[in-house]
Structure 1
């Protein structure tokens, strides 16, 4: 059981690191910088499942809040006041929802992955856009209309994110059997060792 847990934690850590790397592959936009983090979020939910996918994003957020500059604009606890922090919370929620949708299907198809990742995109924006509006208007004292927030934080990037969701789904359906087999193999080996120990 210990080795299987270590392997699971390794996958979580790897995807947390990949999310951090994705933060620095970005296209600067006026309010919300566009990064490739969302691809990692799609893959985390699709390949690791709801629990591990959520954990990978929470680890990433906690490491950044602890002070390491892994976010698109730095790090530290005060990053919670940044208008884009809501999208990081959305990443965790999105990965979890994606994983939940995939886990409901025994043999997920391309359609299932596309559906899961599109729903995950909606979840990310459902968390990120309201947070953006509150951050600008409440504690940053930058009066901003709802329409401006929607243009800057939703319409300017959602089309690309939907396209990335579909693209990542095509990648996930190829990687999913490999990751699932690796997780199952580790679990079976641990169960076999446990049964051997109980009989001895």
Structure 2
């Protein structure tokens, strides 16, 4: 017999779809950084991934980012540089994978920390930021080294794939935590 909590409620599906759409819209608010061999994009996607991870449960947070990724990989141009299955071969796709893992992990941490205050939410979002960048940098290095056969030194990886945008992304963490601290109780009461 199936447990009724195995299915998403209409409210949960709506919230998941809303966050997938917000993440997609965040891709269009971007600054392109002319780095070599591939340009990097600083977008507002991370802000909405943070909100998903801080406001939703782990299943819904991961699913909302997963839906966004599936829509983009199916060919809808919702990523910062387009869409389609060939996006898997772009070195920067790892950051999008990092979004999904980070959203799930942050939601899991929020579910397992007893009392969440501003500082704990900021620590959770910072942990998510490190996971997001770690996965993105590893994927970038692997694709450049294995698929493209281009040598990427650790200095280039550290500068282009981390230092260039991590400060701005941390500011997005602070902004998202400020919003989540105010909305968390309302969202949790409405959805769960």
TM-score when normalising by structure 2 = 0.91
Gaps of 5+ in 2: none
Tell which deviates more after alignment, 165-174 or 1-10: 1-10
> Following TM superposition, by how much is the alpha carbon of 1:114 offset from its aligned partner in structure 2, in angstroms?
0.4
How big is each residue's C-alpha offset from its partner over 1:144-170, in whole Å with a ceiling of 9 and x where there is no partner? Answer: 212101110101111111121122111
Comparing both structures, which one devotes a greater share of its residues to helix?
A: 1
**1:27 aligned residue (15, 28, 31):** 31
**1:103 aligned residue (106, 111, 121):** 111
How big is each residue's C-alpha offset from its partner over 1:143-196, in whole Å with a ceiling of 9 and x where there is no partner? Answer: 221210111010111111112112211110001011011113xxxxxxxxxxxx
Could you say what secondary structure the match of 1:28 adopts?
A: strand
Tell which deviates more after alignment, 139-148 or 150-159: 139-148
Corresponding residue of 1:79: 87
Q: Which of structures 1 and 2 has the bigger CA Rg?
A: 1
Corresponding residue of 2:148: 140
Number of residue pairs matched by the alignment: 184
> Following TM superposition, by how much is the alpha carbon of 1:106 offset from its aligned partner in structure 2, in angstroms?
3.9
Corresponding residue of 2:14: 10
> Following TM superposition, by how much is the alpha carbon of 1:4 offset from its aligned partner in structure 2, in angstroms?
6.3
CA RMSD of aligned residues (A): 1.6
Corresponding residue of 2:77: 69
Gaps of 5+ in 1: 185-200
> Following TM superposition, by how much is the alpha carbon of 1:107 offset from its aligned partner in structure 2, in angstroms?
3.7
TM-score when normalising by structure 1 = 0.87
Q: Is the 8 A contact 1:94 1:121 kept in 2?
A: yes
- Looking at structure 1, the residues matched to 8 and 83 of structure 2 have their Cα atoms a distance apart, in angstroms, of 32
